Structures are given as C-alpha cells and as structure tokens.
Amino acid sequence: MKLTLGFSPCPNDTFIFDALIHHKIDTKGLDFEVEYQDVETLNLKAFQGDLDITKLSYHAFAYAVEDYELLDAGSALGFGVGPMLITKDPKLAKLLQQKLERAESLEGFDQLKVGYPGKYTTANFLLSLAFPELKNKVELVFSDIEGALLDGSIDLGLIIHENRFTYAEKGLHKVVDLGEYWEKTTKFPIPLGGIVVKRSLPKEVKETLNTILKESVEFAFANPKSGLEFIRAHAQEMSEEVMYKHIELYVNKYSVELGLEGRDAITRMFEKAQEMGFIPQSDQKLFLS
C-alpha cells in the first residue's frame, strides 16, 4: 500500500524518517510517496487533507483535528527547545525582557514589526502567549528571518530550527526563548510538532504506521550516522556539527513515544489555546486510540 507522506527537510525530520522511507526497517507492506516542505506549507496542506501522513505544528493540529489524529511516535517535544524571539537592537532586547519579567504591557511598542514563520506554527502561538500585543507581523520563510533583521526590514524575528545556533554569531540578540517561557509557565515540555495520520485510513494501517515510525526512530538512535548523506542533502549547507546539535535538541524520548508526560503537555497546550481563543473547540480525540 502506498501512502503520501510529508515532512520538513530539517535534520530532525530526515533523521527520524530515513530508515522508514529507505526501507532500512521492515515497513510491513507500506510504501511512501514523500514530499519535503517547510512546516507552514505542511500545515496548509493538512488543512486541505492533501497528505495521508504529515508533520505539522501542534498549533496547526488544532485546525486539522477533524481529519487527522496524532501518532504516538515522531513528535518534537522537549525542554529548552523552543522558538526564540530575537532582534538586532540589544537595547530593545533588554527592554522587552524586562517588560516580560514584570508582566508589563507593551503599550507604545505594539507597532514593532515581527517576522514570523507562519500563522499556524507553534512558534506563533507561543509568541501570542508571551506578547499578545505584538500583532504587526509579516510572514517569512524561517530561513529568511535573520536576513530581514540584519537589513532592517523587521524589528523582531521569531526563529525556529537551526537558526537558534547561528543568530548570535551574526550579531543578533535574544529577547526570549519561548520554550523556556512555556516551561516556567506550565512546568511541561513544549510541544512543537507531531506526526499525524488521516482518521479515514483503516485502523490497522494507522497502528502499523505508528509501529514502524517508532522503529524508524529507534533505528536512527542505534545508527546515528546511517542517514548522514540523506540528512546532509537536505540540510541547507549546514555543518555536520550543527546538524547533529539540531537532532539532539529536537529528537528525544518523546520522539520514540509520547508517554503520559508528552500527552499531558499536548493536552495542556490545547486547553490553554482554547481558553485564550487561539484555536477552535473540538470534541475529537487527539491521540491515536
């Protein structure tokens, strides 16, 4: 049986899926037609139901939950792994840090232009929690945000993925790690992205998918250099050191299986987002049953 599968070209996703799509494990009769897209493109594809299985942001999952359910394997959750709000101006960084620490209004700063990687990204959800007044946003491909800060076309940038390893060397300054903000607020790991499957697929297919995805992650952990060339081919000229820092940051025990803590973190995120009116209400179960 051939299924359509979408995930990002980032090292954490290629690391996770390498064994699955290259049949380094037994895929139990399943084969895959793969699309590589940035996460916001995958989010939008999920809203259209274009793919059988896809990576998406947890924020976006709230808008696709009627058609998709979450696999237990393949997720990106963790501590100290969140998106970061950065700026070129160190004085602005310090001022916003102080306002966040004191829970002060951003009155007078609400026209700051923020470059962000997409409306439905978890990064945008977290930014809205920390700084709800920052609504003057311009959507950019995540890899273009640092450049937009450097050329002055935006005041603040919301960065994800490997950019957290490169912004400081470019003379940019951290305002806040939004993952740390979430952790202090909730005591839970931050849910960033997950792998979802169409509810309409047969139950046995969904269960098989979950099993082989878990085995793919376990294979990657046991053989971390097995997919090196595949990972490098999609890594946008990233050094091997940065590639594996990226993987270590985003691929962990929650990627093998969510467990109770992972499920509780995701449930809390949905509850918080619904309380604040960021996402629609739904009676659908989130997790593959």
* Residue list, annotated binding site for substrate: 55-57, 122-123
Angle at 98 between CA 92 and CA 99, to 5 degrees: 90
Contact assessment for residue 117 and residue 161, using Cβ atoms and an 8 Å cutoff = no
- DSSP readout, 42-64? HHHHHHHT--SEEEEEHHHHHHH
Query: What's the rounded Cα separation, in Å, for the pair 27 and 213?
Result: 9
Query: Annotated binding site: which residue ranges?
Result: 55-57, 122-123
Nearest to 53 by CA among 120, 2, 104: 2
Q: Which of 22, 23, 161, 234 is catalytic?
A: 161
Query: What's the rounded Cα separation, in Å, for the pair 157 and 137?
Result: 10
246 classed as catalytic: no
Contact assessment for residue 123 and residue 116, using Cβ atoms and an 8 Å cutoff = yes
**Greatest distance between any 2 Cα atoms in the chain:** 59
Rounded alpha-carbon distances, angstroms, from residue 250 to 10, 182, 279: 10, 16, 24
* Torsion angle, alpha carbons of 102, 108, 110, 114, to 10: -90
Give the active site residues: 161
